[in-house]
Amino acid sequence: MVKDSNRYVEEEPEIIYIPDDEGNEEEFEVIMKFEVDGSDAQYMMVVPLESNDDEEDEVYAFRYEEDGDDLKLYMIEDDEEWAIVEETFNTLVAELDGDNDND
């Protein structure tokens, strides 16, 4: 939801398709995109659209590049990069939670 003057407007979720190990495309909803301070790298956090109700939704992080309509995703394999992405994500979520408390 995005605040538009004094009302909230529901945004359409951004859906992307990511192939699994067998080449089957799975649907994911993009829940957040951000850049890390001091870096040109862009990151996105996604959750699977179809999930098992018994488990909490897992959040996946990818570094990405956009070239027109093409989206290239890269796994984050470096522990240092992962720590920075995780810290940034947690900070942004905490800020969003704080904003929601004031509404």
Write the DSSP string, 37-94: TT---EEEEEEESS--TTSPPP-EEEEEEEETTEEEEEE---HHHHHHHHHHHHHHHH
Query: Which range in 10-14, 34-38, 63-67, 95-99 is most confidently predicted, on average pLDDT?
Result: 63-67
What's this model's pTM, rounded to 2 decimal places? 0.74
- Domain around 86: 2-101
Task: Count structural domains, the chain.
Answer: 1
CA angle in degrees (0–180, nearest 5) for 32-1-59: 30
CA angle in degrees (0–180, nearest 5) for 18-75-37: 115
- Tokens 């605040």 belong to which residue? 3
The answer on pLDDT for 98 being more than 50 is yes
23 to 36, 44, 47: CA distances (angstroms):
30, 21, 18
92 to 32, 66, 84, 88: CA distances (angstroms):
9, 22, 12, 6
Residues 14-50 have pLDDT tens digits of: 999 999 889 999 999 999 999 987 788 999 999 998 7
Residues 41-57 have pLDDT tens digits of: 999 999 998 766 555 66
